[in-house]
Amino acid sequence: MATITTISPITSEPLLTRTSLTESEIPSVVGRSRTAFEAFQESHPTLESRQQIIKKFLDLLLEKKDEIAKDITEQMGRPIRYTAKEVETAVKRAQFMLRISDDVLKTEVSSEEDAEEGVKKYVTKEPHGVVLSVFAWNYPWLILVNSLIPALLAGNAIIIKPSPQTPTVAETAVQLLESAGLPKDVAQFIHCGDPSIIQTLVVNEDIDVVSFTGSVQGGIAIQKAAAERTIPVILELGGKDPAYVREDVDVAYTAGEIVDGAVFNSGQSCCAIERVYVHESVHDQFVEEVKKVLQGYNIGDPRKQETLLGPVVSKASVERVKEQVEDAVKKGAKVETPEGVFEKSELGGWFVQPELLTGCNHDMEVMREETFGPLIPIMKVSSDEEAIRLMNDSNFGLTASIWSKDIGKAQQLLKKVKAGTAYVNRSDYPAPDLAWTGWKESGKGVSMGWHGWGGAFKVRSWNVKTPGVYQ
């Protein structure tokens, strides 16, 4: 029997152990979900009955937010001062889904101008069946609700597979859902660290939808596994999100916002700012303001309220960050991080300090490969046109931001940038009422907002002719 051990990023010591799903267990797990789905159609046939479960679930989630916050901090290392906020934000996101669910899932009747005498035409939204949700560790509750809430509101069963780094998220979710009245096995969790077993799960004929959030490599593996099937596969993958600082900005404000967008959660966000292009006329001033902002940060034990930055998630993450810095310096970049600000942690975990890099260019890995760490690489540009060309010089296309007092010009420029979300004077914020989607290698499909329900339902068209009017 295979086991999975969660290593604490705070101490680098074993923290939790879980039993892994085996290939031989897949038919039983999926079979229980299929049976539960069919029973769920009978026991909770109305949207209102399912909404009541979700409302109760969200209430229970808020009641446990402090306990959940501690789990997140211990398992993935985000400072405790922030982790309860993730739970609150996840609940707000889910509440938006609840609010719009009546409209999203309602039957659509053909308009009068398209009517036919004696014929009733309409479209119903019907659950797919069994949804498989595989999700990442960096914002586990925020990511989970994106697939979980629409799936259950639409009447699906769901199997949730958390990252081995944050296993208790899935366990807590299922426990609270059942406490809220969800019938047993409508939501199940599994633990697995073997990609080949997940791929076997994907090809099981009783899996009707796959939602995956994680790396590009992992997403492509899921897509390949599903290649001979016609099921929906929704992928939320990586990013190398650019920011462009125009010459007309409020430099101090912009520096503070960009540092936050780059290093919050130790840079471990798919939509973190990972490359910064600054107009030459404000470049030097901007770099000095970034230095000032960094002096207000600290790094340390994330279990303490005063800590602003914790560790990255693993030794591999530490090494990737250091390798990108070394590569950049070797190719001409300069490290301009203020000295003496970040003290070396004595905890023994995976701590790496933010680094400010100037003189960067696209020959450097730090400007082309995803970092997922607290780096701020800056490249000087001479024009809007140069900035847009460089912003698009990437395989990724998740978000992009332009910082400017000229809002109209910033919006005009962002239309030329290949990214699923365009920000003006903000970053790193997936709005619950907007579509969240990646272009290029950042993914396919949509989560969140009015457009994020594709993994929750399929449509059936009804064309009903009334007896007695046959020609």
- Which helix (H) or strand (E) segment holds residue 19: the answer is strand 14-19
Q: Can you read off the two tokens belonging to residue 138? A: 């960096």
Helices (H), 351-446: 384-391, 407-414
Q: Which of 23, 48, 74, 236 is catalytic?
A: 236
Helices (H), 309-445: 315-330, 384-391, 407-414
Q: Can you read off the two tokens belonging to residue 441? A: 């290698």
Q: What is the 3 state secondary structure string of 122-151?
A: EEEEEECCEEEEECCCCCHHHHHHHHHHHH
- Which helix (H) or strand (E) segment holds residue 7: the answer is strand 3-7
Are residues 377 and 391 in contact, defined by beta-carbon separation less than 8 angstroms? Answer: no
Task: Please name which of 122, 105, 93 lies closest in space to residue 49, comparing C-alpha atoms.
Answer: 105
Amino acid at 313: V
C-alpha to C-alpha distance for 50 and 65, rounded to whole angstroms: 23
205 part of the active site: no
Are residues 423 and 401 in contact, defined by beta-carbon separation less than 8 angstroms? Answer: yes
Q: Which residues contact residue 79 at a Cβ distance below 8 angstroms, ignoring those fewer than 6 apart?
A: 73, 302, 304, 307, 308, 309, 310
Residue whose tokens read 């053909």:
110
Q: Which residues contact residue 438 at a Cβ distance below 8 angstroms, ignoring those fewer than 6 apart?
A: 235, 236, 237, 239, 396, 397, 398, 420, 444
Task: Please name which of 463, 413, 469 lies closest in space to residue 110, comparing C-alpha atoms.
Answer: 463
Q: Can you read off the two tokens belonging to residue 181? A: 């009245």
Task: Please name which of 124, 135, 132 lies closest in space to residue 205, comparing C-alpha atoms.
Answer: 132
C-alpha to C-alpha distance for 330 and 317, rounded to whole angstroms: 20
C-alpha to C-alpha distance for 81 and 305, rounded to whole angstroms: 5
Q: 369 - beta bridge partners?
A: none
Q: Which residues contact residue 323 at a Cβ distance below 8 angstroms, ignoring those fewer than 6 apart?
A: 365
Instruction: Please identify every residue annotated as catalytic.
Output: 236
